Structure 1
Amino acid sequence: MTNTFNIAGADGNVMVPVLSETGSLMAYVLYPDTTGTLQELYSCMSIFRESSDHSQRIPRHSSTLFINTSGGTLYQGTPFLHRNAFGCTGQLIINSQSKTKKMAKSASSGGTLPDRIKNDPAFERTRENIAEFSRAGKAAKLMRTIFRDVTINAKDKITQSRLVKVMSRIITTDPVNERGARTVHNGDLQQLQNFNFNVRAGIADSLFVRCPVNFNRTTGEVTVNIPVFIPRNMVQQARGTTHFRIVAAAAAINFDTEQYEYAMQGTPELPYNSDPTQAITLTMALPANSRDTVVAVLGIEYYQRVNSRSYALKSGDHNATSVVLVDKAA
């Protein structure tokens, strides 16, 4: 709150600040000080300034002074509320002891809020939003569950909320069902493409190698082709890294029933050095001719090898897993 001051005039009167219940300045009222006591108390905290028509004392400090209008007592420090403040005419201009107004209860507002949300026609839009938001939350949780083993070190604290946001957008693109009944399955699932489970790093930020991803729905195979590359040139180094590996996973997902088929494969741990790697193809077998949506992810994991034992590095800035394929059945 802005500090508020009493203003002492040369004629013996004082302008007293009137504060609201929240402590903010509402007005000043004229308070007579015929004895000059207040001006004496102000002498160490004010400066004298003259003008052509009047003189007054103006505070020079940020200390806050207040006056009890009923007793004329000077207070310094914590602001309080002036009760029953009077103007120069003797009329009551502010009565702070206002009574709390009670809202009249509407006859149509009976029942508890949960009951009204479930049954009141006025909450129809709310029920629709709740239903669709619930589906988005379940779809987001399903994605995290499916790809848990390749995202355990490649996620952030808001992965779930970011996924829910994407799933909610997907639901709104459902052209089949009415509002409140729209689903993830009927929406534009391509919006999942390039989703990064770790907001700080996507696969393109840590692995600078183009790895083509292919899916054959007839056979159910998902393949990731990793070409020859030099790790020191094409892999973003995490602090302490001696080895790394590239992982891929794919799943055929039914977002309506929450059933899925999952497959995962990764490279062996590769040394982080200047020696060229060998070309590698990662193959994941899913059910042939599946009518479910197929989602594939690609990630990178970092390790530090000590005495022939590898320790996973939980580098939140570089561990990455991203969606690289979304294929919806026609």
Structure 2
Amino acid sequence: MAKQVSLIKLEGNVGDLSFFKSKTTGFQARMKTGVSGDRIASDPAFARTRENGSEFGRAQQYGRRLRDLLRDALFQNSDNKFSSRLASRFLKVIQSDTESARGERVLKAENLVMLQDMECNDRTKLGAISLVPITLVYDRLSGDGTLECMGLIPHLNIAKLQGATHVRYTIVLQEFGGDDSDQRPAINRSPYVLLRETTPMNLQLTATLEADTARSVLLLVGMEYFQLVNGAYYPLANGQYNALTIKRVYVP
């Protein structure tokens, strides 16, 4: 690989040379390599590449749609690699289609269970900070989803975080079929829970979607840390230690 030493710092392509700037080594130049886009689009030798690209494109679209629907829930509760991990998981969902031809496989509702137990923030897992069992139920006929955490003693059952004074639990119901008819999510958050509280409490949350037994529903559970200062609750560390998990997937 060549290094640019002239006073003219180039970026872009000139003939078969590609000029670019590296963060570590400055301006560089190298020969253009690889196969042209036209050849990939038409050469029979690259049929498999086109098939894989088509399905990966659909996986990215599904991931983008789900993230858009869950934007309010994901704010400060997801890491910067969640989008790529979600697209990768959706690709596995698509590839589980056993009916369509390769390259034409699509999302089948029954395969959405592969999203279950996926962490939105891979830096913090819900089970590592909320140390008591959480009971989750979704009634497909009523559209009601419930979260119960019985006998919770915050001082003992919630992992401590320096500077945090309170936490808040969240339940999210998200209908998902990958098309424009998906409902917006139903989100319910608990009152702020004092971390130094030693008295057992029964935490119960309910969220409700318009019931549709023909649609798949994702049930997410999360927990966020806050610091109380002069009567106001402030999120800690931009949500780095918050958790949000796709705990259940209910399919038709």
The 1-side partners of 2:181 and 2:104 are apart by 17
CA distance in 1, matches of 2:129, 2:177: 31
Q: Mapping of 1:1-330 within 5 angstroms?
A: 113-186=36-109, 188-257=111-180, 259-314=182-237, 318-329=241-252
Q: Distance in 1 between matches of 2:183 and 2:58?
A: 16
Deviations 1:245-291 (A, max 9, x none): 10111111112447333100011111111332532321111122342
* Structure 2 counterpart SS, 1:236: coil
| Distance (whole Å) between structure 1 residues aligned to residue 126 and residue 76 of structure 2 | 13
CA-to-aligned-CA distance 1:201-247 (integer Å, 9 cap, x gap):
11101111211111111111111112131111111112101111101
Q: Structure 2 counterpart of 1:142, which letter? A: R
Q: Secondary structure at the match of 2:118?
A: coil
Quote the offset at 1:317 in angstroms. Answer: 5.2
SS in 2 for 1:254: coil
Alpha carbon RMSD of aligned pairs, Å?
2.1
Deviation at 1:186, TM superposition (A): 4.8
Q: Which runs of 5+ in 1 are unaligned?
A: 1-21, 23-111
Contact 1:171 1:187 in 2 (8 A): no
- Checking the alignment, whether the CA contact within 8 Å between 2:78 and 2:120 is kept in structure 1 is yes
Give, in whole Å, the separation in 1 of the partners of 2:248 and 2:141: 16
Q: Give the fraction of aligned pairs with identical amino acids, expressed as a percent.
A: 29
CA distance in 2, matches of 1:143, 1:204: 23
Task: Please report the TM-score for the alignment, with normalisation by the length of structure 1.
Answer: 0.62
Residues 258/202 of structure 1: CA separation in 2 closer, same or farther (3 Å cut) = farther
The count of residues paired between Structure 1 and Structure 2 equals 219
Structure 1 CA distance, aligned partners of 2:238 and 2:223?
A: 11
2 CA distance for matches of 1:306 and 1:186? 46
Structure 2 unpaired stretches of 5+: 3-34
Q: CA deviation at 1:176?
A: 2.0
SS of the equivalent of 1:261 reads coil
**Which amino acid in the other structure matches residue 53 of structure 2?**
I
Following superposition, the deviation at residue 316 of structure 1 comes to: 5.2
Look up the match of 1:81.
Answer: none
Shift of 1:303: 0.7
In the alignment, what sits opposite 1:10? none
Cα separation, 1, equivalents of 2:69 and 2:201: 29
Residues 160-187 of structure 1 show CA distances to partners (whole Å, capped at 9, x for unaligned) of 1111121111111111211111122356
Larger radius of gyration: 1
Q: Which amino acid aligns with 1:167?
A: F
| Counterpart-to-counterpart distance in 2, 1:172 and 1:265 | 34
